[in-house]
Structure 1
Amino acid sequence: MLDEQALLEALNSTPVVDGRPQDLWADDAVLRRWARKHGGPGDAPAIDWLRTARDVLQTATHGPVPETDLRRILSGVYRLPEIGASDLRWPLHGPPERMLAVELVLAWYDVQERRPGRLRPCCNDECRLFLLDRSRANTARWCSMKTCGNRLKVRRHQERARQAPGT
């Protein structure tokens, strides 16, 4: 099963670099490596489903959950118990080309359940990254204080300085 880090990698695969939106997963080889690193196949149908899942989850993190799109990704997926000598497992079953995309969706839902309200977009409107707020107070606003946080604070300071009387 994919973890929070893999989920953030997927959500953050469309950064803004030098003011221009990028899609790191547009390169099939990059996405194939990511899929294999996380135990999935790197064939064309699987990476197409991963891109679809990523796009749907980015939309869901910004606002209303696109239920129809999520149902399409999860269609035909089920769990069946497997009994071992000392354990009970509930593995996922479904179309092989969709299984890593399904795991990505399940990781998103897991974060929503375990850490409600903590997965969100960066507050910098010019940034397309997401953050998972692990702070006690749940007050993180930026994907990175070093980049977006400082940049916005400097911009606000400069605006206040320009608007101050006598300047």
Structure 2
Amino acid sequence: MPKVVIGDIDLLLDLLNTTPVVDGVPTDALDDPRDAARWLGERDLPRSPAAAASARRARDAIARVVRGEEPARTLEPFLEGVSRTPSIGDDGVRWELSTGSADPFGLRCVLAWAHLQETLPGRLRPCANDDCRLFLVDHSRADTRRWCSMAACGNRLKARRHHRRATSGNGGD
């Protein structure tokens, strides 16, 4: 099986983060065909409407799994027709991936998700700010990162908590 490289994880995170909230309004970078073509092209991916549809399907399915809204089995259709075959050589056993009729982009993203689940279980997560729709990969040693950005979501939530404590007069939440 080909190794999932860091670039694939970056691609997965970029894909999951194509639905940000901008000025309080949810947006979708893959909704408009021109924007989708630009996003795909910037990542050296095909700019076709089919590629954009594939990206949206993969994004939405993986996002639901990461948010805990759907079980991991939801991703099974992206693996349809995929198999691994061992071959032995002078260096040992190698696994070759046969993609069959699987959607290459969806498969690539699901493999990146699976690699993260294996190497950093639970570290791909949605931002803890309920008003935010972004995702993060927590690389902190203590596994404590909660926000997509401390400057944006982290400070905003801390400021809200401080304001509630200050106005409640009891210092508690």
Bin for the TM-score computed over the shorter chain: 0.7 to 0.9
**Quick one: which amino acid aligns to residue 93 of structure 1?**
T
Q: Could you tell me whether the CA contact under 8 Å between 2:20 and 2:26 is conserved in 1? A: yes
Q: Could you tell me whether the CA contact under 8 Å between 2:8 and 2:108 is conserved in 1? A: no
* CA distance in structure 2 between the partners assigned to 1:78 and 1:36 by the alignment: 29
Give the Å deviation of 1:36. Answer: 4.2
* CA distance in structure 1 between the partners assigned to 2:33 and 2:13 by the alignment: 19
* C-alpha distance 53-129 of structure 1, shift in aligned 2 (>3 A): same
Matched, 1:19 2:9: no
* CA distance in structure 2 between the partners assigned to 1:106 and 1:23 by the alignment: 23
* Equivalent in the alignment of 2:153: 148
> Could you tell me the percent identity over the aligned residues?
45
* Equivalent in the alignment of 1:103: 108
Q: Could you tell me whether the CA contact under 8 Å between 1:40 and 1:99 is conserved in 2? A: no
Q: TM-score, normalised by structure 2?
A: 0.81
* Equivalent in the alignment of 2:75: 70
**Quick one: which amino acid aligns to residue 157 of structure 1?**
H
Give the Å deviation of 1:148. Answer: 0.2
Q: 1:41 aligns with which of 46, 67, 73?
A: 46
Give the Å deviation of 1:89. Answer: 6.8
Q: Could you tell me whether the CA contact under 8 Å between 1:82 and 1:91 is conserved in 2? A: no
Q: TM-score, normalised by structure 1?
A: 0.84
Which sections of structure 1, spanning at least 5 residues, go unmatched? none
* C-alpha distance 139-33 of structure 1, shift in aligned 2 (>3 A): same
**4+ residue runs over 6 A deviation:** 81-84
SS at match of 2:30: helix
SS at match of 1:124: coil
Q: Could you tell me whether the CA contact under 8 Å between 1:14 and 1:22 is conserved in 2? A: yes
Map Cα deviations across residues 12-67 of structure 1 (whole Å, 9 max, x no partner): 11011111111111122333344345454332223212110100000000004252
Q: 1:30 aligns with which of 26, 35, 40?
A: 35
* Equivalent in the alignment of 2:96: 90
What count of residue pairs does the alignment treat as equivalent? 163
* C-alpha distance 150-108 of structure 1, shift in aligned 2 (>3 A): same
